[in-house]
Structure 1
Amino acid sequence: MSLRLSTVILPLDRWHEGGCAKWQRAEDLGFHSAYTYDHLSWRSFRDGPWFGAVPTLTAAATVTQRMRLGTLVTSPNFRHPVTLAKELIALDDISDGRITLGIGAGGSGFDATALGQEAWTPRERADRFGEFLPLLDRLLTEGAVTQEGDYYSAVEARILPGCVQRPRLPFAVAATGPRGIRLAARYGQAWVTTGDPKLFEGGTPEQSRAALAGQIDRLGEACAAVGRDVDELGKVLLTGFTPDRNAPFTSVEAFVDFAGRHQELGFTEIVVHWPVADSDFDIDPDVFEAIAAEGAGRLG
């Protein structure tokens, strides 16, 4: 299977001061998908411009035609399944069925406390995600939903007319732990990982690939447990968080080597960050464009 190459565009720019042009350029470069982060703010970008994911994707849908669009990722940190479902069917409609929802359990960053709540423990995040995702699945596939949960409820919630994509838009479920991987196996059309965070600082590329291979093995076991073929799921690697950091983006050759090694593990899509100067994603724009133009084609 050929390897798809996608990008993630951080929502940093005013739409008429560079934001629009990036999304259009991403399509011109031939990326399979262009995603954006769904956060209220994020890490070193906290004190600078940061725009909302759904409005950004809505605008992007109106200035592109072929490229898929999506979040990478949305989480329950500041979302509710009912309101999110309503926004998603509108976005899927405006894009004429080009939306993928990347979704995960969330983390302990700024989103976790921006609404005034205490940050949830890892177990509570997993508990909430385990309730959030099945309810969102029902909302996007059924005409009316009533469900009472410990964290999320819906009372005669009508998400009509539903998605353009049937039976609903695809979920790309970000997960590395056992509970999240089980949810990916049951509800996902794709699975997303950034690698093993424990290896980011002190690990080696070889250790990282071994950890990723283990994650894919566990995904296969989870799929088998629910009667699914693991090959039905796309396997998405969001780059920039493995021990290699930006080394694969120093040249087309370095990227082809990196991507090929991960393709051999079973990955079907590699996502690279659009360059952001003076940040963790400070990639040479010329090399980035060369990778987009040549990288995926050389992988076959």
Structure 2
Amino acid sequence: MRLSTVILPDRRWSEGGRENWQRAEELGFHTAYTYDHLSWRDFRDGPWFGAVPTLTAAATVTSRMRLGTLVTSPNFRHPVTLAKELISLDDISDGRITLGIGAGGSGFDATALLKGGEEPWTPRQRADRFAEFVPLLDRLLTEEVVSYEGEHYSAFEVRNIPGCVQRPRLPFAVAATGPRGLRLAARHGQAWVTTGDPKLYETGTPEQSRAAIAGQVERLGAACAEIDRDPASLDKILLTGFTPDRPLASFDAFVDFAGSHAELGFDEIVVHWPIADSYFDADPAVFEKIATDGLAALASS
């Protein structure tokens, strides 16, 4: 199993931003991700910086750790411009970028670009765009010249030379729980991402959460079977913080949590970098011990 972290882009680079990314590499995290949002929940009225510039800066002050988004969505992205940014970022990082990508939610990003009176996209409309977005982005990152005209997106003789450092392109980690998204993950993903079942976060139990996640894993397997893909060839990533469990409450809590989800087939656990007095508050000492010793304790348990 791998252990990764999410560092929210809520600090100026000169006021702790740089140090967080460097410290994440020192602690041995496999990947450090960041959210790709315009703003997010309780952080809306505070500092919040762009994901791609943040990852570009992080790439210049780290050398081993992988970097990525968790996740990018069509809410305010277009495949053509995103592809150019990703190819550049993959080059600057010397091939250390993973693109976490999802259909997007109904938060602030979903309404920031709307004209007055426009209604936000429905879940079906977001799924429709996602189903077009991912295959087009795949082509843009693997083909030298792409032309395409769809219902939601178009590209005309778009050139992305020389392409990604990683071949045939940088990996996609597709966040999905519904049938259409799971089929996209099976067909285009090198990894699949889940946060669990959001309906269980406040009122469910850890046991109910694990059962729901096991069901998601089973449905992912069925989506892979539809295209004769081995489900084991698709990494499974769990972004923590949105289930009834509290894996950062203590070192033992993390080991128990990681172990129970490893049994479900997960290859990577992602924990949030602590932010005091926030949704992601955690004891920094416990967090660092988990980072340095958590997987070793899991392996010996």
What band does the TM-score fall into relative to the shorter chain?
over 0.9
> Could you tell me how far apart the structure 2 residues matched to 1:223 and 1:160 are?
31
For 1:274, the equivalent position in structure 2 comes to 273
For 1:299, the equivalent position in structure 2 comes to 298
> Could you tell me how far apart the structure 1 residues matched to 2:76 and 2:90 are?
21
For 2:95, the equivalent position in structure 1 comes to 97
> Could you tell me how far apart the structure 2 residues matched to 1:106 and 1:155 are?
25
**Residues 189-208 of structure 1: pairs in structure 2 closer than 5 A:** 189-208=190-209
Equivalent AA in structure 1 for residue 83 of structure 2: A
Corresponding residue SS for 1:127: helix
For 1:154, the equivalent position in structure 2 comes to 155
For 1:106, the equivalent position in structure 2 comes to 104
8 Å CA contact 2:114–2:120 kept in 1: the answer is no
- TM-score (normalised: structure 2): 0.97
> Could you tell me how far apart the structure 1 residues matched to 2:253 and 2:77 are?
38
For 1:235, the equivalent position in structure 2 comes to 236
Shift of 1:52: 0.1
The CA deviation string for residues 117-139 of structure 1, in whole angstroms up to 9 with x for no partner, is: 53100000000000000000000
> Could you tell me how far apart the structure 2 residues matched to 1:85 and 1:299 are?
38
% identity of equivalent residues:
79
Q: Give the unaligned 5+ runs of structure 2.
A: none
Corresponding residue SS for 1:140: helix
Equivalent AA in structure 1 for residue 267 of structure 2: T
For 1:26, the equivalent position in structure 2 comes to 24
1:135 aligns with 2:140: no
Shift of 1:280: 1.2
> Could you tell me how far apart the structure 2 residues matched to 1:292 and 1:280 are?
20
Q: Which shows bigger deviation, 37-46 or 113-122? A: 113-122
Equivalent AA in structure 2 for residue 83 of structure 1: T
Shift of 1:297: 1.8
Shift of 1:263: 0.4
- TM-score (normalised: structure 1): 0.98
For 1:84, the equivalent position in structure 2 comes to 82
Shift of 1:227: 1.3
Equivalent AA in structure 2 for residue 69 of structure 1: L
For 2:252, the equivalent position in structure 1 comes to 253
Equivalent AA in structure 2 for residue 240 of structure 1: G
Corresponding residue SS for 1:248: coil
**Residues 33-112 of structure 1: pairs in structure 2 closer than 5 A:** 33-112=31-110
For 1:121, the equivalent position in structure 2 comes to 122
> Could you tell me how far apart the structure 2 residues matched to 1:299 and 1:144 are?
47
Runs in 1 of length 4+ with deviation above 6 angstroms? none
Shift of 1:299: 2.1
For 2:169, the equivalent position in structure 1 comes to 168
Shift of 1:116: 2.1
> Could you tell me how far apart the structure 1 residues matched to 2:228 and 2:249 are?
42
8 Å CA contact 2:37–2:109 kept in 1: the answer is yes
Shift of 1:259: 0.5
The CA deviation string for residues 97-117 of structure 1, in whole angstroms up to 9 with x for no partner, is: 000000000011000111125
Equivalent AA in structure 2 for residue 130 of structure 1: A
> Could you tell me how far apart the structure 2 residues matched to 1:265 and 1:212 are?
8
Q: Give the unaligned 5+ runs of structure 1.
A: none
For 2:2, the equivalent position in structure 1 comes to 4
Equivalent AA in structure 1 for residue 185 of structure 2: A
For 1:220, the equivalent position in structure 2 comes to 221
Shift of 1:261: 0.3
